[in-house]
Amino acid sequence: MKQLDEFENKDLASITAKGKTLLVFTATWCGDCRFIKPQMPAIDAEYPDLNFIEVDRDLYMELAQELHIMGIPSFVAYEDGKEVGRFVNGDRKTKQEIESFINNLAFAN
Active site residue 12: no
Q: Tell me which of 33, 64, 67, 88 is the catalytic residue.
A: 33
Q: SS3 sequence, 47-98? A: CCCEEEEEEECCCCHHHHHHCCCCCCCEEEEEECCEEEEEECCCCCCCHHHH
Identify whether 73 is preceded by a cis peptide bond (ω within 30 of 0).
Answer: yes
Active site residue 30: yes
Q: Tell me which of 12, 22, 30, 69 is the catalytic residue.
A: 30
Q: How many CB atoms lie within 10 A of CB 66?
A: 10
Q: Provide the annotated active-site residues.
A: 30, 33
